[in-house]
Amino acid sequence: MTIERYSFQERVIHWTAGLTYIYLLLTGLAFYSPTMWWIAGMLGGGPVIRYWHPVAGLAFVATVLWMYKAWRRDMRLSDLDRKWAKGIVDYVSHQDHKLPPVGKYNGGQKQFFWVMFYGALALLASGMILWWTEAIPWSLRWVRFAAVLLHVAAFLVTVAGFIVHVYMGTVVVKGGLTAMTSGKVTKEWAHHHHPLWK
């Protein structure tokens, strides 16, 4: 018996966010480090990725904003989540039974959501400045400098979240990936991972 965890719309948005983020990550890595510049070649060359990176960024931010609108209630952090977070070591070592029961999203998922949300906002703000560097007057050049740092910092924070998210969703929690592809989970899976989810 399966129940719907993610609607079709939610899945489309998620995968749009996922794919744009991956594109941004790959192109961003090319910009980030010369050792990764080979990615630029695979994706059409430097000028091409320079052109599409900010455009993809806008798409990514749009999906994040949609998710914010749709999921922000579900993602509100509660006392329960804080309690859950204290048992993170148990969670990591698969001692899930020691943890308090969670709802549709556990504390980790919620935190990941907010990391990605604020990260996206920071990337958007700094990215716009980097996109239109020449529009920032020389007298306000500290804005350019701040943007450079913010973009890199936000990138690193989101990429950390992203690694955890992908690892958890695909490898650690079986069924997580199918939940996001088919939208359905088994009742048992729901009960096991999200007992308070109604």
Partner 1 sequence: MAGSTLELKRISAVSTAPPGVRETTVVSKYIDTTSCIGCKACEVACQQWNDLPPEVTVQFGTYQTLPDMTPSFWNLIRFEETEVDGAQAWLMRKDQCMHCADPGCLAACPAPSAIVQYVNGIVDFNQEHCIGCGYCMTGCPFNVPKLNKTTSKVYKCTLCVDRVSVGLEPACIKACPTGCLQFGSKPQMLHLAEQRVARLKENGFANAMVYDPPGVGGTGVVTVVAHGDRLASYGLPRDPSIPLAVTLWKKPLKWLGNLGMIAGVVVAGLHYLKFGSKPEPEAKEPEK
Tell whether residue 105 is a contact of partner 1 (CB under 8 A).
Answer: no
Q: How far is the CB of 12 from partner 1 (least distance, A)?
A: 27
Q: How far is the CB of 160 from partner 1 (least distance, A)?
A: 6
Tell whether residue 49 is a contact of partner 1 (CB under 8 A).
Answer: yes
Tell whether residue 172 is a contact of partner 1 (CB under 8 A).
Answer: yes
Q: How far is the CB of 135 from partner 1 (least distance, A)?
A: 10
**Phi, psi at residue 62, to the nearest 5°?**
-60, -45
What DSSP designation does 98 have? G
CA distance 155 to 170: 22
**Closest CA relative to residue 113, chosen from 70, 82, 153:** 70
**Phi, psi at residue 186, to the nearest 5°?**
-80, 160
| Partners of 184 in beta bridges | 4
What DSSP designation does 96 have? G
Tell whether residue 153 is a contact of partner 1 (CB under 8 A).
Answer: yes
Tell whether residue 64 is a contact of partner 1 (CB under 8 A).
Answer: no
**Closest CA relative to residue 81, chosen from 94, 91, 71:** 91
Tell whether residue 55 is a contact of partner 1 (CB under 8 A).
Answer: no
Tell whether residue 145 is a contact of partner 1 (CB under 8 A).
Answer: yes
What DSSP designation does 52 have? H
Among 171, 177, 181, 182, which residue interacts with partner 1 (rule: CB under 8 A)?
171
CA distance 114 to 169: 17
Q: How far is the CB of 67 from partner 1 (least distance, A)?
A: 23
* Residues 175-194 contacting partner 1, CB under 8 A: 175, 186-189, 191-193
Q: How big is the CA angle at 161 (ends 177 and 166), to the nearest 5 degrees?
A: 20
Which residues lie near partner 1 (CB under 8 A)?
Answer: 1, 30-35, 37, 46-47, 49-51, 92-94, 96, 130, 133-134, 138, 141, 144-149, 152-153, 155-156, 159-160, 163-164, 167, 171-175, 186-189, 191-193
